[in-house]
Structure 1
Amino acid sequence: MTPFAIAGMQLHITAVQENLSHMKHQLDLLMLRFPWVQMVMFSELAPFGPLQSNAGSFERTEEVMSGWARHHGIWLLSGSMFEGTLDGKVYNTTSVFNPQGEVVGRHRKLFPFCPYEQDTAPGTEFLVFDVPEVGRFGVSICYDIWFPETTRTLTSMGAEVLLHPVLTGTLDREVEISIARATAAMFQCYVFDINGIGAGGVGRSAVFDPSGAQIHQAAGQEEYIPLEIDLDQVRRQREVGLKGLGQPLKSFRDRAVEFDVYRRDWTQSQYLATLGPLEIPKRGSRAGLNRQGDTSDAQGSGASDALSENDAPSTVGATLKTVGGF
């Protein structure tokens, strides 16, 4: 057995002020009640909420959280924060700290929830890190999990636990939970899918084991989720199969087929070009619907069926951020 204790923090997040003091208070209480916890993770955009205008200093906040990790002697996942760069881009970035308070890695969200997060730049790199004598962990953020290629990459790099902070305040949370469960089974890994509440989401954080079995699902209130997992369960299932049955990672490794869909120049993917622009739907839009043979909307023919920059009210970005959704 290779035990390791991880606690997800489902906390109330506000969009009108910083949440760092609340996060620290709850972390201190968690460690007082459950001193055996070895890793703690917060939800997506927990420190300052979902509005970019409220984001604090990325570097200074890392220094603060570094002190938390060092004080409690724990591995710590920041949830995520907006990170501004010298070239003017803004990323949604999570930081991982070791028990010495050192940053061991940062993950920039690969798939911002476009078109609603069009002002957030996508990252391009994957993050895995090792906990000595325990195992390898991978990180993704919210909408990343909707693209199985992200978890495929992390598990191919050896990840045995997927740490997945989310900010989902929208009605597709039920679907997202199903995706998290399927991800655990398909890639034979633990999945910690941790959401916030308030401006931070609708809660219902969930944890799944490498067979896809649900270990815990929270409700809609603040909750600590301290769980001891066994990394040997991952290794056993990857060797002999899910419940002694399918061995999907080895089947993928030994595949006979190559997937041309990933080639940008693959001519048979032309259908994707007919889907129209990645834009916010317009009120009353009928885009994508064939009306008695008229395929113009299905072809995504016009910008008239989507909000343009000139038509959008100046508050659209801020409003969309407050309703969250990945």
Structure 2
Amino acid sequence: MSRHLRLTLVQAAAESFADFAEGLRRRMKSPNAGQLVVYPELHLCSLGLGEMSDEEFTARYAEPLDGPRGRALGDLARELGIWLIPGTVLELTDDGRVFNTAVVYAPDGRLVASYRKIFTWRPYEPVDVGSEFVVFDMPGTGRVGLSICYDAWYPEVTRHLAWMGAELVVNIVQTPTAGRAQEIPVNQANAIVNQIWVASVNGAAPTAVGKTLLVDPEGNIRVATSGSEDATILSVVDFDHVPAARKFGTSGDSWPWDHFQDGDSPLELPLYNGRIDPATWRPAISPETPEPLRPAAPAVFRRPAAAKEDA
């Protein structure tokens, strides 16, 4: 059985919760209605940002995930029957710390995943730093990983999410600078080297410069906005493209996850005070991946003799 997901990416400027809820209901009555709907980073926590001190910013927007905002978001997901990533929120913990946290709500309104941004945009982002990689499963579809904005610049984040079995990484962004030009090829590279889908959702003017995009496991941009306009784009993600690319090769000739062979020694990684162990190099497999596309144990690929001679 094929695994397809109607994915709605909303490129919009920061707005109040009331405007957000009204706009989401309107979008879900249109041809852009999706099963998973994604908004930009800090979408509900950016109004007036440039006019507030750090203390005023956190006082206005930081609250526990199970607070009034979280309950309202869960109610909205349940009302519309959708998977909802409403961007990121300022999360206030019991010990007074504040994180930039991506949240995911299931169609029944449950908070099924939360990810605290690891690579905050220092020194401009006045929040604490997360320390855990997060993926979640969409039953009947596949596994999704979460990253936030600047995380994409650190390949270790996407690599770990892919290793944990993510077939789609949702990168939630609020980039108002010229650096968005570099983020586009960065997201393509993350998709290519990990053979996964990557959706990078940026805000619209005046709070961000847009250029939202969806990249397939072979690096092709499937859909993108042209600029900073307010836009809602829909695409269909084929999760089976991930195991197919890994089985048959990216463009038919590259198998990055199958580099290591039986008997290879671990590769020391002095930068990380660690190593790549060939025995554990392969990514986890989503429980939704169909049997014909699952690699056979021990899943070692050896290039044909002709290919070796041509190399």
The normalised TM-score by structure 1 is 0.75
What is the CA deviation profile of residues 121-177 of structure 1, one whole-angstrom value per residue up to 9, with x for unaligned ones?
110111111111111000010111111111111110100000111010011110011
Q: Which runs of 5+ in 1 are unaligned?
A: 265-326
Does 1:31 find its partner at 2:32?
Answer: no
Change over 3 Å in CA distance of 1:252–1:258 after alignment to 2: farther
TM-fit CA distance, 1:220: 1.3
Among 235, 249, 266, the residue aligned to 2:243: 235
Q: Find the residue that maps to 1:182 and give its secondary structure.
A: helix
Does 1:48 find its partner at 2:60?
Answer: no
Among 193, 203, 206, the residue aligned to 1:196: 203
Does 1:165 find its partner at 2:165?
Answer: no
Does 1:2 find its partner at 2:12?
Answer: no
Q: Is the CA contact 1:44–1:200 (under 8 Å) kept in the aligned structure 2? A: no
Change over 3 Å in CA distance of 1:42–1:243 after alignment to 2: same
Please identify runs of 4+ aligned residues in structure 1 that moved more than 3 A: 50-54, 252-256
Q: Is the CA contact 1:43–1:79 (under 8 Å) kept in the aligned structure 2? A: yes
Separation (CA, whole Å) in 1 of partners of 2:202 and 2:233: 11
Superposed, 1:310-321 pairs within 5 Å as none
Superposed, 1:84-233 pairs within 5 Å as 84-117=92-125, 119-198=126-205, 200-218=207-225, 219-233=227-241
TM-fit CA distance, 1:86: 2.6
Q: Is the CA contact 2:192–2:218 (under 8 Å) kept in the aligned structure 1? A: yes
Separation (CA, whole Å) in 2 of partners of 1:129 and 1:53: 30
Q: Is the CA contact 2:32–2:232 (under 8 Å) kept in the aligned structure 1? A: no
Change over 3 Å in CA distance of 1:45–1:240 after alignment to 2: same
Separation (CA, whole Å) in 2 of partners of 1:139 and 1:203: 19
What is the CA deviation profile of residues 40-86 of structure 1, one whole-angstrom value per residue up to 9, with x for unaligned ones?
01100001215435315342111111011101111111210111223
1:295 aligned residue: none
What is the CA deviation profile of residues 232-260 of structure 1, one whole-angstrom value per residue up to 9, with x for unaligned ones?
11110011211111111222798752212
What is the CA deviation profile of residues 252-280 of structure 1, one whole-angstrom value per residue up to 9, with x for unaligned ones?
7987522121029xxxxxxxxxxxxxxxx
Change over 3 Å in CA distance of 1:33–1:121 after alignment to 2: same
Separation (CA, whole Å) in 2 of partners of 1:98 and 1:11: 22
TM-fit CA distance, 1:27: 1.0
Among 271, 284, 292, the residue aligned to 1:261: 271
Letter in structure 2 aligned against 1:29: R
Q: Which runs of 5+ in 2 are unaligned?
A: 50-56, 275-311
How many residues end up aligned between the 2 structures? 259
**Identity rate, percent:** 33
RMSD: 1.8
TM-fit CA distance, 1:199: 5.0
